[in-house]
Amino acid sequence: MSLPLTARCAGPLSALLLSACLVAPQAMAQDTAPVAPDTSAPVAAPAAPCGGDFEAWKQGVAAEAKAAGVGQVGLDALEAASIDDKVLARDRAQGVFSQTFIQFSGRMISAYRLKQGKARLEKYADIFARADQQYGVPGPIVTAFWALETDFGAVQGDFHTLNALVTLAHDCRRPQVFRPQLVPLLTLIDRGTVPADVKGAWAGEIGQTQMLPIDYLADGVDGDGDGKVDLRNDVADVIMTTAKKLEMKGWKRDQPWIEEVRVPEVMDWSQTGRTTKLPLSQWYEWGVTRPDGSPLQDNGLKAGIVLPMGYKGPAFLAYDNFDVYLEWNQSFTYALTAAVLASRFAGAPAYDPRSPDPGLNQDQMKQLQTKLEARGYDVGTVDGILGTNTREAVRKEQQRLDLPVDGWPTAELLQKL
């Protein structure tokens, strides 16, 4: 699923991003990534939403689980669950994901991942073909998430998942995020789908593409017909479930996701951005071409222009399918990296980083946010993270100050403010 990264720290990528992301609004370039699931477990008995005596709180969860049909195996697992202080420490660390897109994608799109991804696309070609036929999601898309989330299952996390989730649900910072995961996890345990001591990321994700329990339970696919859904060990289940999840998030069959382009030196940059989707003929009229300078081929679709590091940096057409990446993980940098990695698996060359203006460091970003707040903008928390609110405020100030409206904050903007 969906959730700063220092190489491959002790835990899968999604949870590492979560440590950065729950400290700010949604994310763009130096950003964060929320994980709140969009459904909730059934509630059958009043239970304190968070805090208070832990054992009494667990009794409330047990009543809820019983009413949802969880049997003794699951209830015994809950009874044995305990607070994990390491999870609280990780949650409160609030590490900041401050790498630029070029830095992050450069580290994550490694020669190792490209080689291993290509090998898996060949080895499991028949399963990828079934997933594509059934859900309309090509193999390179699934493979990119598989690579980034856990290095193809090699790094799935070593936190006791039930302990992690009871810890985070009992804690009063975001019980609404984690409480809905408890009954689904207890159901999975009760059915024997996962063991009571199943391990995963510190924020509760399980398996090779890091599914939250609520998604595992509702949407897991038995990809090889063995009667089980094993997202930790069974490659067929992993591929088919991941493809299904992407289809459910809105993936459009036989349509592109991103395409690298070359932008002109001068353009109405206020028209750029993921949500301003225009026909390719319009972009070409304004001077946007393929990377080699040849004309864009009108495919009948609309796309926006995304400039992760401003108008002097790399540029991509973002089609409707790119929005699905942001449904998976709202960190723009992660989403674009995953999309670029998928394009590499599909045969595209490495993108041209060009020569973007240097961005702001974290202290400068805090100064910028403080100045924007003083001008009446809602930037969320002054945390030095370039999230959606900050980026939108930057665009408005760039327009006011007659600067290129590309959403990329620079020292020049900070000085003019």
Query: Tens of pLDDT along 367-408?
Result: 999 999 999 999 988 888 887 788 889 999 999 999 999 999
User: Would you say 62 and 79 are in contact if contact means Cβ atoms under 8 Å apart?
Assistant: yes
Query: In this predicted structure, what is the pLDDT of residue 381?
Result: 82
Tell me the pLDDT of the chain averaged across its residues.
Answer: 89
pTM: 0.87
Any idea what DSSP says for residue 179?
Answer: G
Per-residue confidence (pLDDT) for residue 404, from 0 to 100: 94
How many CB atoms are closer than 10 A to CB 257?
28
Mapping DSSP to helix (H, G, I), strand (E, B) and coil, where does residue 365 land? helix
Closest-CA residue to 386 (of 101, 96, 97, 28): 28
Four-residue CA torsion sign, 22, 24, 25, 27: negative
Structure confidence at residue 20 (pLDDT): 40
| Whether the predicted pLDDT of 45 surpasses 80 | no
- DSSP conformation class of 288: -
| pLDDT tens-digit readout, 69-82 | 999 999 999 999 99
Q: Does the pLDDT value for residue 66 go beyond 70? A: yes
Cβ partners under 8 Å of residue 352, min gap 6: 260, 262, 291, 314
Per-residue pLDDT of 252-275, as tens digits, reads 999 999 999 999 999 999 999 999
Contacts of 294 (CB under 8 A, 6+ apart): none
Query: What average pLDDT does the segment 352-379 reach?
Result: 94
Which secondary structure element, helix H or strand E, spans residue 411, and what is its range?
helix 411-416
Residue 32 reports pLDDT greater than 50: no
pLDDT at 27 exceeding the cut of 90? no
Look at residues 164, 184, 142, 186 and name the one whose alpha carbon lies nearest to residue 18. 164
> What are the structural domain ranges in the chain?
362-416
Note whether 84 and 163 are within 8 A (CB).
yes
Residue 19, pLDDT score: 41
CA 415 from centre of chain: 33
Q: Are strands 258-260 and 316-318 parallel, antiparallel or unpaired?
A: antiparallel
- Find all residues with CB under 8 Å of 399, minimum gap 6, and list them: 270, 405
Residue 28's pLDDT is: 32
Residue written as token pair 């060009």? 354
**pLDDT for the residue numbered 389:** 85
Q: How many Å from the N-terminal Cα to the C-terminal Cα in the chain?
A: 39
What is the per-residue pLDDT across 270-317, written as a single tens digit (0 to 9) for each? 999 999 999 999 999 999 999 999 999 999 999 999 999 999 999 999
- For the chain, percent of residues with pLDDT exceeding 70: 87
> Which residues on adjacent β-strands are paired with residue 206?
211
Rounded distance between C-alpha atoms, residue 324 and residue 214, angstroms = 19
What 3-state DSSP class applies to 245?
helix
Give the tens place of pLDDT for each residue, 184-238. Answer: 999 999 999 999 999 999 999 999 999 999 999 999 999 999 999 999 999 999 9
Within 8 A by CB and 6+ apart from 246, the residues are 135, 137, 141, 142, 324, 328
Q: Is 86 helix (H, G, I), strand (E, B) or coil?
A: helix
Q: Are 146 and 177 in contact (CB under 8 A)?
A: no
Tokens linked to 223: 């990809």
Confidence of residue 35 (pLDDT cuts 50, 70, 90): very low
Sequence-distant (≥ 6) Cβ neighbours of residue 391 within 8 angstroms: 28, 29, 407
Say whether pLDDT at 43 is over 60: no
53-63: average pLDDT: 96
Each residue's pLDDT tens digit, 143-180? 999 999 999 999 999 999 999 999 999 999 889 999 99
Is the pLDDT confidence value at 7 over 60?
Answer: no
User: In this model, does residue 5 exceed pLDDT 50?
Assistant: no
Quick check: 37 pLDDT over 70?
Answer: no
Among residues 231, 252, 31, the alpha carbon closest in space to that of 149 is found at: 231
State yes or no: pLDDT of 41 exceeds 60.
no
Sign of CA dihedral 3, 5, 11, 16: negative
pLDDT at 134 over 50: yes
DSSP classification of residue 204: S
Helix ranges (H only) for 196-301 are 213-219, 235-248, 280-285
Decide which of 336 and 98 is more confident.
336
